[in-house]
Amino acid sequence: MNTRDVSGIGMTSQRTRERLVQRLCDQGVQDLSVLEVMRNAPRHLFLDEAMAHRAYEDTALPIGYQQTLSQPLTVARMTEILLAAGPRKNVLEIGTGSGFQTYVLSRLVDQVFSVERIKPLLLKAKQRLRSLKVWNASCKHGDGMLGWADKGPYDGILVAAAGDTIPQALLDQLADGGRLVMPVGSEKQALHLVVREGGEFIHEVLESVYFVPLLPGAVR
Ligand code: SAH
């Protein structure tokens, strides 16, 4: 890693980070373990240099290929919703993007599996996670609408892109007692939580959000 390492921009922005965490608390994030990870996560390392100075603002930021690194509030909320019923062993993430959400999950669960459809984004995310010595996250190139069947079933699934419906393959890969969180809708989107209880899938609609679309197929 170059000069933008953890002791560079990261240290000098400690106060900015504290402000961000305070803002997350003010907006209702309550899980202390999630807040702690957000406090220490080097978000600037998941952005291109030109955007890094904005890393600790509570806003979504461009990562190229018309995609965005999600707003910190959204990352924190989705993570806390996923973990609300207790620790998760293995989590599937759809939409690796910058790898930031993958990083946050990797600090809180045993194993993360993440799928990204845009190959150059995936390669960059993998490189970042490797340089941060994240060894419990595996990322692959593919269509996340199909999930990652051979690593499942998962006790958590987090989808970081919005679809009109929840893909059946993802519901199929949810373990008994597992929780899935995903933005659903096109113009207006809301976070949906699905909890699997045996053969039953219990749906709940939570707050409104804004995400890039979940698109079929993988691109090189
Ligand atoms: N969690 C990411 C957010 C990335 S934005 C981060 O922290 O940076 C959503 C991502 O979902 C984009 O990178 C987009 O390419 C990806 N995506 C959209 N549809 C997908 C699909 N079917 N399979 C895998 N990834 C998909």
- CATH number for the domain spanning 131: value is 3.40.50.150
Beta carbons of 58 and 20 less than 8 angstroms apart: yes
Q: What is the pLDDT of residue 3?
A: 43
Quick: pLDDT tens for 144-163. 999 999 999 999 999 999 99
Q: What is the pLDDT of residue 15?
A: 85
Average pLDDT over residues 190-199: 97
Q: What is the pLDDT of residue 5?
A: 52
d(CA 32, CA 59): 21
Could you identify the residue written with the tokens 């806003």?
Answer: 59
Whether 157 maps to a domain, the answer reads: yes
- Which residues, 6 or more positions from 153, have their beta carbon under 8 angstroms from its beta carbon? 173, 174, 175, 176, 178
Sign of the C-alpha dihedral computed for residues 134, 136, 142 and 143 taken in this order: negative
Average pLDDT over residues 195-202: 97
Shortest-distance atom of ligand 1 to CA 101: 7
Shortest-distance atom of ligand 1 to CA 46: 8
Cα of 215 vs centre of ligand 1, distance in Å, is 9
Whether 52 maps to a domain, the answer reads: no
Report the catalytic residues: 70
Ramachandran sector of residue 97 (left: φ over 0; alpha: ψ -120 to 50; beta: rest):
left
Cα of 13 vs centre of ligand 1, distance in Å, is 27
Whether 169 maps to a domain, the answer reads: yes
Whether 28 maps to a domain, the answer reads: no
Ligand 1 is surrounded, with C-beta below 6 A, by: 63, 67-70, 94-95, 97-98, 100-101, 115-118, 121, 143-145, 160-161, 212, 214-216
Whether 31 maps to a domain, the answer reads: no
Give the count of domains, the chain: 1
Beta strands 174-184; 154-159: pairing state: parallel
Whether 43 maps to a domain, the answer reads: no
pTM of the model: 0.95
What is the extent of the structural domain holding 96? Answer: 60-209
Structure tokens at 151: 């690593």
Q: What is the pLDDT of residue 11?
A: 47
Beta carbons of 129 and 102 less than 8 angstroms apart: yes
pLDDT band at 12 (very low <50, low <70, confident <90, very high): low
Whether 39 maps to a domain, the answer reads: no
Distances (CA, A) of 74 to 95, 115, 123: 14, 19, 24
Average pLDDT over residues 171-189: 96
* pLDDT exceeds cutoff 80 at 13: no
Whether 17 maps to a domain, the answer reads: no
